[in-house]
Amino acid sequence: MNLTTTHVLRAETQELESTALDEQLRSFWELESLGINKEEKTLYDEFASDITFHEGRYKVSLPWKEFHDPLPDNYQLSLKRMRGMLCRLWQNPAILERYDRTIKEQLEKGVIETVQIGGKDPERVHYLPHHAVVRSDKTTTKLRIVYDASAKSDGPSLNECLHKGPKFNQLILDLLLRFRSYPIALTADVEKAFLMIAVNDSDRDVLRFIWIDDITKDNPELQVFRFARVVFGVSSSPFLLNATIKFHLEGYLESNEGTVRRLLQSTYVDDIVTGAETEEAAFDLYVQAKDMFRHGGFNHRKFLTNSRELQQRIDCAEGIQPTKSQPQESCLDETYAKATLGCSPTEENKDETYAKLRSDVHPLKESKRTRF
């Protein structure tokens, strides 16, 4: 008699909720993917139909998700975190004074607005916790106020209610390879790029934050402000910046397609990493890029090149005048260009540095370069 033994294996699967690790892995692979999908194109189309230009700057709306849980106001959470931060800042009066001065300067420039408490609140109100980030290696901005749009209490965070939007940034590898194919390098960044774009009035009340009226008082009064500009720290802000720059530059396609394509292929967030075949061509690119961005309400600054002669010419056009007692500060001190070029020219080593940059940026001098 033949006996046959049969084994049966049963397996069940259960769909798990997305974890933080899942989101990080998804974000990683999105950075490695090419193009944007159909849904993201639709989001940009909606953005392009809604954007306006008013009083010298673009005005945009936040990209709300169609379906999301009610957004809480986060007032108590923001108040608690502000009190804790103040206790820490009172131990460092210099940082506290700089923090307060930054908020007052933003109020004077129209970056933020005072909110009058009382009466009926708008449909959506949300408060953003904030804290200080101090960078000792910076020369122009040693303190930055960071707003936490991922904070949540009794409901979703602001970031969870907004679309992140498509990523228009070029792949970093392609950008750097293209950059290194030019004998003359040229880099720059856009000054306070996020704050140059206005937010529509209907969305400003979800960008509120709490501060105090006088840091010298023992019992200061609370003040409520709201942002009138795009906020660094909100998940949709990079999309709003990149989409605004794309929308603005594409307006020059008919008149100057070559430069527009070059800038779109060379932009990473608020940095431009590009180059040219000759110093004259690089200077022309500087002039055209500066003018194009200026008409959109943006200021290109911190230009850097591996050509000493071109650097002096650009510095002269920018009105930068070095003195013997205070040598010119290199724009490498606060830009991604520092990581790109790897060193900063100073009065002591500028000849050696420029020679090194010329050879490093264009390593394929004797061979045929690949065009990207």
**What's the pTM value of the predicted model, to 2 decimals?**
0.77
Expressed as residue numbers, the domain containing 93 is: 53-163+199-227
- Residue 351 pLDDT level (bands cut at 50, 70, 90): low
Give the model's pLDDT for residue 40. 53
- Say yes or no: 136 and 116 in one domain: yes
- pLDDT tens-digit series, residues 135-148: 776 555 588 899 99
- pLDDT tens-digit series, residues 207-253: 999 999 999 988 999 999 999 999 988 999 999 999 999 999 999 99
Give the model's pLDDT for residue 157. 95
The closest of 77, 135, 132 to 103, measured between CA atoms, is 132
What's the number of domains the chain is made of?
A: 2
Most confidently modeled of 5-19, 36-50, 87-101? 87-101
- Say yes or no: 289 and 217 in one domain: no
Q: Where are the alpha helices (DSSP H) in the chain?
A: 20-32, 38-50, 75-89, 93-108, 172-180, 237-250, 257-266, 279-295, 308-318, 337-341, 350-361
CATH value at residue 69: 3.10.10
Give the model's pLDDT for residue 224. 95
In a domain, 287, yes or no: yes
- pLDDT tens-digit series, residues 145-164: 999 999 988 899 999 999 98
- Say yes or no: 87 and 146 in one domain: yes
- Say yes or no: 282 and 185 in one domain: yes
Residue 197 has pLDDT above 90, yes or no: yes
- Say yes or no: 286 and 222 in one domain: no
Residue 335 has pLDDT above 50, yes or no: no
Instruction: DSSP for 67-115, please give it.
Output: S-PPPP--HHHHHHHHHHHHHHHTT-HHHHHHHHHHHHHHHHTTSEEE-
In a domain, 280, yes or no: yes
- Say yes or no: 179 and 138 in one domain: no
Mean pLDDT of 26-54: 70
In a domain, 16, yes or no: no
Alpha carbon distance 146, 132 (integer Å): 6
- Say yes or no: 148 and 181 in one domain: no
Decide: 196 and 109 in contact? Cβ < 8 Å. no
Residue 125 has pLDDT above 70, yes or no: yes
Give the model's pLDDT for residue 13. 47
Alpha carbon distance 71, 74 (integer Å): 9
- Say yes or no: 133 and 186 in one domain: no
Decide: 150 and 237 in contact? Cβ < 8 Å. no
- pLDDT tens-digit series, residues 273-312: 999 999 999 999 999 999 999 999 999 999 999 999 999 9
